[in-house]
Every structure is written in C-alpha cells, then in structure tokens.
Structure 1
Amino acid sequence: MRAHLARLDAVIVQAVIAGALSFSHLHDLAEAAGQGGWKAWAYPISVDLLLVAAWRRMREQQRAGHLAGGPRLWFLIALAASLGANVATAGLLDLDAVPASLRVIVAGWPAVAFFGGTLLAHTPRATDGRTAVPATEDTAPDPTPDLAPVPAPANVPPARPTLELPTAQGPQESTPSTSATTTAPAPAAPVTPAPPLPPALVDRVRALAAEHRATTGRAADPDAVRARLGLPPSMTPSVAAHL
C-alpha cells in the first residue's frame, strides 16, 4: 500500500511540474505575440483543457470499440500547440521580435479551440455496444404443455386363478401335448467378413475421427465416416474397426 501511494505521489508531482512548465511557456509565447494581461493567462488554460478533453473522449471511443478519429485530431492539435510553445521559448525564437505568422496563429487559436471543444462536447458519448436481453426471453412460456400426472388406479381386487379341470380320457387315447413340441431354430446365415481397408483409407478414417472428436468432443459415428469417404454400406464394420 505504501509503495502504491509513493508511486502515486511521484506521478502527481511529476504531472504538476510538467504542467506548470508548459503553462509558463504558453503564457510567455502568448504575451510575446501581443496577447497581454489576462488573455496571456487564458491561452495555457485553453490548450491544456482541449488536450485533456480530447484525450478522455478518445479513450471512451476506443474502449467502446468505435473510431476515434475526431478526438484524436483535436488531441494532436492541442499537443502540437503545447509542444510548439515549449520549443519556441527554448531560445530558438526571439520573443522580442515574434514573426507575423506566429502572431496570426496565436490570435486565431481561441476560435480553433472553441470549435474543437464544441465538437467534443456535442459528440454523442459511445456506449459499450451491449444489447440488453429482453426480460420476456427468460419468462417465455414453455411451448410443451405440462401433462397432468395420471392418477394411480383404485384398489382392484386380484383376479381369482382359474382352475383347469382334467378331461377324462380312455386308456387307449393319448393326446400329444402342444407345449412339449419344440421347433428347431433356423440355421443362422453365414456372416461374410467385411473386406479390409487399404492403409490410405485407414489413415483417412482416423483423421476424420480425430477431427470429429476435436470439434464435437464425441466419438465419430462409423456410418457417418463411411458416408464421408463415399464407401458402400457394407464397409461400415471395416470403418468401425479402425475408430
């Protein structure tokens, strides 16, 4: 926590020092260009406010995934004005004999800053682009009607077993029992073994199975792999043997 506060204090001190120096340079340049009195103090405030406003609006547009060409343009204009004043007051320009072109630029800055600030203020704020899910989606009725449970049947007395009376038969008569008659099972059809697959098809079958598992997370269906390879239905057991 202390290290975080120390870094924060260092950033604030650095920002205050840099802002004060830039403020002073802009004031000196405006005063040398003929803007005396309170107007010379208003120029640094105008440049720095436009710089901060353009930066904030540019970051909002970028976080929302929108284009930030307009805010970026005004940020570069304000940055050029601030850097130009810092460089001009570093001894490269005679402040006692300022060129006429620089006087025109300084005199025209208020109109440029006002125009840029107005555009930034009236630009619609970008949202994150998330679409709200309607509340009726979660509460939509189930299209499948609920079926009422079928009530259990009432107590029904168990059915009485029926008694079968033996029929009288003579000693010479005998009736073969139908329950003792057994039917011989039909012979099973011979199973024809599936033809083996060539090595090239084996590699192709395994590649398709691996692709299906990686895509769906489930094992591939042998019949579907056989259909993709264009093989006849009789080759399905051969395909399944290599999955």
Structure 2
Amino acid sequence: MILPILNHGARELGIELSDHQFDQFEKYYHLLFEWNKKFNLTAVTDYSEVQRVHFLDSLSLIRAGIVPDGLRIIDVGAGAGFPGLPLKIAFPQLKLTLLEATGKKAVFLSETVAALDLDGVTVLNARAEDAARQPEHREQYELVVSRAVASLDTLGELCLSFCRVGGTFIAYKKGDIGNEVDGALKAIETLGGRLRFIQDIALTDLPDSRKLVVIDKIRHTSPEYPRRSGLPAKKPIS
C-alpha cells in the first residue's frame, strides 16, 4: 500500500520508496497505533498526521545534504523510533542504534524492529549519560540524531559524546530557535562541536516551521562529559 502523503513528501525530498518500504511504513503505523493504546508513545495517531509529522519529518534529514545509507547512526532518546526507524526503512544499509531510557518504549522498539524484519538495528535501553561512557559507544558514530528530546544546550552534552571526530550531530527542531541556538553555542564548543548551519525544511506536507541544526564534531569531547544522569538537563553548560 502506498501512503500518499509520505509518497509525495519523499519524492519532494528526492527519495523513491519501493512497495516493500511502503509496506514497512504501513506496518510501523499500525504497530504504533496499537501499542499507543497500552502506554503513551505519541500524541499523534491520525493516519495522515503520522505520515506528515513523524515519517516525513524524520526523512527530512536529507535537506541537510546527508545521505545516511551505510553510516553508523545513533538516535538519542528514540522514543517511538523517530527519526531513526523511518531513516532505516528508507536507507536500509545504515547501521542504527536506538537509545531509549524508558523500558516500555525500548520493548516497543525491539518488537517493531523484529516485526519489520530490519537488520543492523540495536535497541539500547539506557540513559544517554551512561551509554556515552561505554567504549563501544563513545565517539563511535558518524551521525548522531535526536528529535523532540531536550533543549539544544542539554542535547549537546547528551549527544556529542557519541559522535566521532569528523562526524555530525543533527538536532531536529521547529519554530523560532534563534535564542535556543545562541544559548547553546558555549556548550557545543565546550563539547568539541561547531555549528555548521541551520537548515529550514520547506516541504509542502509539513505543517510547521521545521529546522535541522547541523553541528560538526571537530575535536574529542573531554572525559568529564557527559556529567552524571540528570545534570545536563538541570544545569546546562553555560
């Protein structure tokens, strides 16, 4: 089944999805809808709106000039799987880690990965502050993504420790983020990053002013970061 809104938006992004990939997105939607009855995964469950604000928004990463196929990627605070799982469906060669601290959501992610028969996906049930200190994850990823998790100053501390030098961290944002970005520049620099640009996402089917904040990892993150669980959110670097 071809999801019409997703199909139109993907083509606008230059992505051609196969019948099999549309079937995976369709199954993903129904899994999301059913599991959302058990516990809160998302406030958006309407068929058309999920295509717009979850599937299509996740794929908008392409607007940053990055084709993720083959890259090693971690989605920090994956929640219901956005943006990581739509990216994996669209670009099946990428190697994906879904990091999620809430146990129930991690179970949903594991069940969904299995149901969609996705290879090369790891679900990690842990806090970012803890996982980023594990050698197999610290500065090991070419691309780090995060969507609707925290303010950018907090996200920088949670995410840049996963990003290898020469890699990229992309935060999905919406609305007027000028002050948020300005307030995060010190944290980004402290953690070894440098703001490259902010990309506006202009797509016919996306309802809001969506943006991608693109940050390059230019040097190693100091071993003191990230700080212990909870501190990045309570006392952001300033």
Provide the TM-score with structure 1 as the length reference: 0.25
Higher RCO structure (Cα 8 Å, ≥6 apart): 2
Greater percentage in strand? 2
Say which structure is richer in helix: 1
| TM-score, normalised via structure 2 length | 0.25
Structure with bigger gyration radius: 1
